Homo-oligomer: A and B are copies of this chain.
Amino acid sequence: MSKPFQRIAVIGKHHTTPLHETLSLLIRHLQDWHCEFTLETETATEAGFSSLPTQSLEEISQACDLVITIGGDGNLLRTARQLCHTSIALIGINKGQLGYLTDIHPEALMSLKDILRGEYSSEERFLLRSHVFRGEDQLFSQIALNDVVLSPGEIAQMIEFELYIDGNFVYRQRSDGLIISTPTGSTAYSLSAGGPILHPGINAIVLTPMLPHTLTSRPIVVSAESAIDIYLSEANRTQARLNHDGQEQFSLQVGDRIHLEKFEKPIRLVHPKTYNYFHALQSKLHWNQQPIFTDR
């Protein structure tokens, strides 16, 4: 039995149609269970629940101990980045197809009652932090829970860069880009690019090249404590961009240096007691299915 949650905040995905319905259901349950809860201000406005108590993200980060997000993995990713400086626990409710991070379906909201009471498991997931330097100046910094992606800018089709790990030169690569992924992100974009699945218990990062011109370029898994530096080669004719969880972008210039490291504070994900990481994999990757070719 873990510590029950005392003050709960609810954050909904912007502009998602079924938000109102799921939110109504959730609110009714929270009221039935006599929980103290608050709605994030914009969520309340959008969904038309202005009569209920609301708080800004800033206030939530100081007052609450659990945030329930409504919507897909994207919503939980955004909330995790926004609250990365706090110790708030996170859990996601997803009406559509279950995600890797959002594991409670609205029809299974009753399981939330047990979670609020302290019947849950929780785990820490680390985040990445990027810093972009132009000459001596740091121009930009951002957080990512899934991945940081270096890719070509507007017109370019490929980029050229140099990769250093802990100050060691690794390779100069021409490719469509590089995905630097946490274990959490290893089942997302990196997987499409041929990267391995990293169990969330691993303290490691995977660097997955996208369509590399050199066929021997392969995903490399390094310690999450590594310092990763990427130099945008002068050979690039055009800009590149740096993307965080597919949501936060920055435009890079030739000569920029990107420094990546583990963010000092992990987020905490809360799951129902029945949660099992491998069940999520099986379901998302359809591992329970018939093989593609029948027995000879």
Chain A residues 192 to 235 lying within 8 A of chain B, measured CB to CB, are 192-199, 201-204, 206, 210-223, 226
> Is the CB–CB distance between B197 and A218 below 8 Å?
yes
Nearest Cβ on chain B to A14's Cβ, whole angstroms: 13
Q: Does A290 touch B at the CB level, under 8 Å?
A: yes
> Is the CB–CB distance between A294 and B97 below 8 Å?
yes
Nearest Cβ on chain B to A272's Cβ, whole angstroms: 16
List of B residues within 8 angstroms of A175 by Cβ: 192
> Is the CB–CB distance between B282 and A213 below 8 Å?
no
> Is the CB–CB distance between A191 and B215 below 8 Å?
yes
Contact A296-B77, Cβ < 8 Å, known A214-B291, A286-B289: yes
Nearest Cβ on chain B to A10's Cβ, whole angstroms: 20
Q: Does A12 touch B at the CB level, under 8 Å?
A: no
> Which of A168, A284, A291 gathers most chain B CB within 10 Å?
A291
Q: In the bound complex, what is the Cα–Cα distance between A161 and B155 (angstroms)?
A: 21
Q: Does A100 touch B at the CB level, under 8 Å?
A: yes
> Is the CB–CB distance between B292 and A168 below 8 Å?
no
Q: In the bound complex, what is the Cα–Cα distance between A226 and B155 (angstroms)?
A: 30
> Is the CB–CB distance between B216 and A292 below 8 Å?
yes
Q: Does A108 touch B at the CB level, under 8 Å?
A: no
> Which of A74, A155, A204 gathers most chain B CB within 10 Å?
A204
Q: Does A295 touch B at the CB level, under 8 Å?
A: yes
Q: In the bound complex, what is the Cα–Cα distance between A197 and B205 (angstroms)?
A: 12
* Chain A interface main SS type: loop
Q: In the bound complex, what is the Cα–Cα distance between A56 and B266 (angstroms)?
A: 52
List of B residues within 8 angstroms of A286 by Cβ: 214, 216, 286, 289
Spell out A's residues near B (CB within 8 Å): 72-74, 77, 94, 96-97, 99-100, 149, 151, 154-155, 157, 165, 168-171, 174-176, 187-189, 191-199, 201-204, 206, 210-223, 226, 243, 245-247, 249, 276-278, 281-282, 284-287, 289-296
Can you spell out 18 A-B residue pairs with CB atoms less than 8 angstroms apart?
A72-B296, A73-B294, A74-B295, A155-B249, A157-B243, A165-B199, A171-B282, A176-B176, A192-B215, A193-B211, A196-B206, A199-B222, A201-B222, A214-B287, A214-B289, A215-B216, A216-B285, A245-B296
Q: A77-B296, A170-B282 are in contact. List 15 more A-B contacts (CB 8 A).
A: A72-B295, A74-B295, A157-B296, A170-B278, A192-B293, A196-B206, A197-B218, A197-B219, A197-B220, A199-B220, A214-B287, A216-B292, A221-B221, A245-B296, A286-B289
